[in-house]
Amino acid sequence: MRVLHVLDHSIPLQSGYTFRSRAIIREQHALGWETCQVTGPKHNPDAAAPAQEEVDGITFYRCPPVGGLLAKLPLLGQLAVIRALTRRVLEVARRERPDVIHAHSPALNGVAAIRAGRRLGIPVVYEVRGFWEDAAVSHGTSSEGGLRYRLTRALETWVLRRADAVTCICEGIRGDLVARGVPAQKITIVANAVDAARFQPVGARDADIEARYDLAGKKVIAFIGSFYAYEGLDLLVAAMPRLLQARDDVRLLLVGGGQVAQELAQQVRELGIADKVVMTGRVPHEEVEAYYSVTDILVYPRKAMRLTDLVTPLKPLEAMAQKSMFVASDVGGHRELVRDGITGTLFRADDLDDLVRCLLELLAAEERWPAIRAAGRAFVEDERNWRNSVANLKPVYQRLAPGG
């Protein structure tokens, strides 16, 4: 089987999107399949990209960025992206002769793949990883139900109806696709997962990090990742005064940066807890493990909204693989992953009182931690691993390209 993946962006850029792509490609290689990869014009658009690039043992064909004034115009810019990517997919497909083209969100990739696939007679699979119109709402660049929102949704529906098969990452998305008229039998879930071998249990606490931020002997609760509004980090900061009233040894560690970093820093100052909160800013990827090592409880306080209810994140699975304790809001994306009280702890989304209660109860019950850590690790080893997830693609590809 030879598969051409069409991606928005890829490694060496670091995101949940690129890590999922890398994991799928590696597991397909382990199955003996051959793959080739094309990234769209939005991959690192401000840098001069080579026509072909090898990263971490994977070869990527790059599509030139769409430049000039055209790229900045809302509708014409998207059409230019589709045209450029269609040309590149056609070039690569003629060279590599894949059995299947597998395009991944966003819908622009799906349109380009379908146009190229129809021209060359190659079946197309389209994977929905999330709804980009909802992400735009959470980032403040679009409004729910607005023109841009409705156009983006309509374009994806166009792709879903014309793709030969559809994959998605979770039950929440699958339910939405069925509700908009995509036949259930056309959809296959290729769930988010982790490579347990790459995410080993966190080791001993890093003494340098503890000394640098005065964390030795403290109970550290942390969030490590990108600071988007939907992550609900303002709720976590708001919980700190209440936590400190009950336990003066608690410290909050926020590692990363992004959309709401400045607002969070202002909130910390206004609450008068700057000496109890560490905001490191972005750190190199190779140093992240050291910050996990000094953390007692990770917190994923995602706000309740359409985006978080439908989409499953990677972070809770990574926490389980690392045997990290964590608390997460009970949005739909978390409920699909976490067995409350067994592999992790869920609190009522957007509920400050319940977040404080869960954290204090967990801090007071360290005797329960080993069992929770073991259950989480077993869950990712036995169920949520990439071998199991990618295996779901076998019947999809074989149905579309039986001779591949």
Both 174 and 313 in a single domain? no
The mean pLDDT of 95-111, rounded to a whole number, is 97
What does the pLDDT read at residue 135?
Answer: 67
What does the pLDDT read at residue 10?
Answer: 95
Number of domain units in the chain: 2
Evaluate whether residue 142 is within a structural domain.
yes
Both 159 and 26 in a single domain? yes
What does the pLDDT read at residue 74?
Answer: 65
Angle between helices 74-96 and 107-120 (to 10 degrees): 40
Both 172 and 54 in a single domain? yes
Q: What confidence tens digit (pLDDT) does each residue in 142-168 have?
A: 556 666 777 878 899 999 999 999 999
Q: What confidence tens digit (pLDDT) does each residue in 264-291 have?
A: 999 999 999 999 999 999 998 889 999 9
Q: What confidence tens digit (pLDDT) does each residue in 171-198 have?
A: 999 999 999 899 999 999 999 999 888 8
**pLDDT of 137 strictly over 60:** no
Most confident range (mean pLDDT) of 15-24, 70-79, 214-223 is: 214-223
**pLDDT of 78 strictly over 90:** no
What does the pLDDT read at residue 263?
Answer: 97
Both 45 and 169 in a single domain? yes
What does the pLDDT read at residue 123?
Answer: 98
Both 252 and 182 in a single domain? no
Evaluate whether residue 28 is within a structural domain.
yes
Residues found in the chain: 404
Both 332 and 258 in a single domain? yes
What does the pLDDT read at residue 47?
Answer: 65
The mean pLDDT of 93-115, rounded to a whole number, is 97
Evaluate whether residue 200 is within a structural domain.
no
Q: Would you place residue 69 in the very low, low, confident or very high pLDDT band (cuts 50, 70, 90)?
A: low
Which phi-psi region, left, alpha or beta, contains residue 64 (left: φ > 0; alpha: ψ -120 to 50)? Answer: beta
Both 220 and 130 in a single domain? no
Is the separation of the CB atoms in 172 and 129 below 8 Å? no
Q: Tell me what the pLDDT averaged over the chain comes to.
A: 92
What does the pLDDT read at residue 136?
Answer: 59
What does the pLDDT read at residue 71?
Answer: 59
What does the pLDDT read at residue 227?
Answer: 94
pTM: 0.86
Both 12 and 97 in a single domain? yes
What does the pLDDT read at residue 352?
Answer: 98
The mean pLDDT of 383-391, rounded to a whole number, is 95
Both 93 and 239 in a single domain? no
Domain that holds residue 217: 207-382
Kindly report the CATH number assigned to the domain that includes residue 224. 3.40.50.2000
